[in-house]
Structure 1
Amino acid sequence: MKLSVGLMLLASLLGGCDNPPAPEKGFAGLGDQAVAFTPVVPGRTFSFPADHGAHEGFRIEWWYVTANLKDAQGRDFGVQWTLFRSALDAAPQADGWRNQTIWLGHAAVTSATVHHAAERYARGGVGQAGVQAVPFNAWIDDWQFGTQASSADPLADMQLKAHDSRFSYALRLTSTRPLVLQGDNGFSQKSEQGQASYYYSQPFFQASGQLEIDGQRYTVSGPAWLDREWSSQPLTANQTGWDWFSLHLDSGEHLMLYRMRHKDGAPYLTGTWIDAQGHSQALQAGDIELAPLGTAKVAGRAMPVRWSIKVPGKHLDVTTEALNPAAWMDLRIPYWEGPVRLEGSHGGNGYLEMTGY
């Protein structure tokens, strides 16, 4: 559930310096009212491949990939790639520099000892960044997430690549499993007040390829996860941040869960259990026990990098541990994101994102 940490920043940087941004409401402004934009309501019928593409009329959306990788020596790595689309205007978008769409890219790599992150920005309408549904391709500059598939499923065979002065990666992602609609058939609620996104995932990707960190090259492989969300107001003004997990279990099952933290009151907690065949079951707060177990000092903050996760109805009782506790995304709007390992009733790995600390 990758929410756009760059929404307010993009508006202030590229939306016009003579119009200062409104006071922030909720984390990164994601609780701002968006009455001019298309609302997210239950009952949407998803259509593929069209819904892999951009959704004009909605304020914010993202294409988000994480991968848990190993090399031949068994060393663990993590890779993240995200493209955000932020609309500054609800009207249909014009071509050229009159376009009111802003794009933001995040890319990162993590090992047990190193974490590097980079970001890129682009204005829509001039070809520097964008997403096309057929054939599927998402890009910002020369960072790319695009299909190589010749089948009817454009996500069956994907290429993922990004680079910075300190790292690069080029991965092939393949899957024969179905997409998973999160929440209530793709309607993913974020608060008791009804804020929501449209949300689907491909948690069954298998990745392989090349990863380079600080001049050292590795041949790597492992599971990967795609999240796709779009919304117009995904948070309330009272929500200060979130803790989000995507977990690959050694049993072949998968788990997505998140808690939305509030300035006051209990967090909003929900998730999805995905069996090995791709069938999903929505989890409510009463189905999940989620608690931080230990913190690390990261960028002057106490970050909860060790967690207990229990889903009693699925006989899951695990502890997650960060591969690298210092996986701080030191970007314009900073947050923590990195790979985690599991121990307990199930083994496995996954990703954790924490914002608003």
Structure 2
Amino acid sequence: MNVKLLILLVLLPFQALAQGFAGLGSEAGDFAQPERGHVLTFPEDHGAHPAFRIEWWYMTANLKGADGRDYGLQWTLFRSALAPVDGQGWETPQVYMGHAAVTTPEAHFVAERLARGGIGQAGVTASPFAAWIDEWALMGPDFDHLTMRAQGSDFGYDVALTAKGPLVLQGDRGYSFKSASGQASHYYSQPFFDLTGTLTLPEGEVAVTGQAWFDHEWSSQPLAEDQTGWDWFSLSFDTGDKLMGFVLRGESDYTSATWIAADGTATPLPNGAFQAEPVEQTGLPTTWRVTLAEQGLDVTVTALNPGAWMTTSVPYWEGPVTITGSHQGRGYLEMTGRGD
């Protein structure tokens, strides 16, 4: 196949995201739709769901080097379907995009991979779990014990992850509302990974330890027509408790959140309970005030590196944050559809 044609076919389903992410609000057509009440089952649901239009496997991690320096790490595999049918080899409608990043207080390293599914270059299997694109891989004998690696022209990482808590089903037992009009996804997390391994940076190798948060989400129309992007927070507090919350920006903002106790007990929260307001009023907001009255939470969330812009085919901001105020901790922030 012509290389330019291959690149076009890979990029085509992601172009809507590049248009302010509003394309995710387009009609689902004949693609499958999430069903409320559908019971997620594992390990099967760790794998791909090719009947749905869009899916992602997403790992972020807050790390420290032996000298106490802070780092952030990201590994993401996106799947997008050109059609609501599956196929073999070059006839498969599944295409993949991989993003990897390492963030330091002074620098943000980014790499991207693009691939067609069905030919072995990229894919996901449920058991044993493996998600890969080229030589980048997230895999293991079971989902509690994984290894993860990726590299770009000026960075890389090779790390091991061990789950220390249960999977968390977001929303209503894994059915996550995205708008008042009913758009939704299937969504679960594993926010309890311990991580050890090595970063490779221009200055050399760095041994790191820390905690990682994994998200897996699939849908065919995850946004309403008027929604242009989201601000998503994964916050881990020194108490062991955690919070996932997001604001979907539209004519009327829509919020959703889950409070995750240290033992893994998850409490979903309705639209409006989670509040996130930028502290800066100009430019890209990398300092936020986040509140959750039910838990007495009132914190300032500050980017480790305000320049953590993902300069990829689908641009967005993603980076590690620190948490101060009523609760202390670390986490990750993602902002989409805000422009560069």
Shorter-chain TM-score range: over 0.9
Give the Cα–Cα distance (whole angstroms) in 2 for the partners of residues 176 and 293 of structure 1.
34
Out of 209, 212, 216, the position equivalent to 2:204 is 216
**TM-aligned CA distance change 1:15 to 1:73, over 3 Å:** closer
Q: Does 1:13 align with 2:8?
A: yes
Structure 1 residue runs of 5 or longer lacking an equivalent are 1-9, 297-301
Give the Cα–Cα distance (whole angstroms) in 1 for the partners of residues 301 and 16 of structure 2.
38
Partner residue, 2:259: 273
Which range is displaced more, 213-222 or 98-107?
Answer: 213-222
When the two structures are aligned, how many residues end up with a matched partner? 333
Out of 270, 277, 292, the position equivalent to 1:284 is 270
CA contact (8 A) 1:11 1:88 kept: no
CA contact (8 A) 1:26 1:236 kept: no
Out of 143, 158, 162, the position equivalent to 2:150 is 162
Give the Cα–Cα distance (whole angstroms) in 2 for the partners of residues 239 and 286 of structure 1.
16
What secondary structure sits across from 1:294 in the alignment?
A: coil
Q: CA deviation at 1:288?
A: 2.2
Which residue identity does 1:212 align to in structure 2? T
Structure 1 residues 137-176: aligned runs within 5 Å: 137-147=130-140, 149=141, 154-176=142-164
Which range is displaced more, 185-194 or 283-292?
Answer: 283-292
Instruction: Report the TM-score, using the length of structure 1 for normalisation.
Output: 0.89
Q: Does 1:240 align with 2:235?
A: no
Q: Does 1:304 align with 2:290?
A: no
Give the Cα–Cα distance (whole angstroms) in 2 for the partners of residues 307 and 11 of structure 1.
41
Q: CA deviation at 1:213?
A: 1.6
Give the Cα–Cα distance (whole angstroms) in 2 for the partners of residues 169 and 23 of structure 1.
27
Partner residue, 2:245: 257
Out of 22, 32, 42, the position equivalent to 1:38 is 32
CA contact (8 A) 1:25 1:32 kept: no
What secondary structure sits across from 2:286 in the alignment?
A: strand
Sequence identity (%): 51
**TM-aligned CA distance change 1:29 to 1:11, over 3 Å:** farther
Give the Cα–Cα distance (whole angstroms) in 2 for the partners of residues 46 and 237 of structure 1.
27
CA contact (8 A) 2:25 2:224 kept: yes
Q: What's the RMSD between the two structures over aligned residues? A: 2.1
Q: CA deviation at 1:23?
A: 11
Structure 1 residues 181-196: aligned runs within 5 Å: 181-196=169-184
Which residue identity does 2:145 align to in structure 1? D
Give the Cα–Cα distance (whole angstroms) in 1 for the partners of residues 290 and 29 of structure 2.
37
Partner residue, 2:45: 51
Partner residue, 1:299: none
**TM-aligned CA distance change 1:119 to 1:47, over 3 Å:** same
Out of 302, 306, 318, the position equivalent to 1:337 is 318
Give the Cα–Cα distance (whole angstroms) in 2 for the partners of residues 124 and 155 of structure 1.
22
CA contact (8 A) 2:22 2:225 kept: no
Give the Cα–Cα distance (whole angstroms) in 1 for the partners of residues 113 and 227 of structure 2.
27
CA contact (8 A) 1:26 1:235 kept: no
**TM-aligned CA distance change 1:15 to 1:330, over 3 Å:** closer
CA contact (8 A) 2:183 2:222 kept: yes
Q: CA deviation at 1:212?
A: 1.4
Q: Deviations over 1:106-143 (max 9, x none)?
A: 00010000001111000011000000111110000000
Greater than 3 Å deviation, 4+ residue runs: 21-26
Q: CA deviation at 1:275?
A: 0.0
Partner residue, 2:100: 107
**TM-aligned CA distance change 1:11 to 1:258, over 3 Å:** farther
Give the Cα–Cα distance (whole angstroms) in 1 for the partners of residues 225 and 261 of structure 2.
35
Give the Cα–Cα distance (whole angstroms) in 2 for the partners of residues 253 and 270 of structure 1.
17
Instruction: Report the TM-score, using the length of structure 2 for normalisation.
Output: 0.94
Q: CA deviation at 1:26?
A: 6.7
CA contact (8 A) 2:100 2:110 kept: yes
Q: Deviations over 1:26-50 (max 9, x none)?
A: 7251111112011112001111000
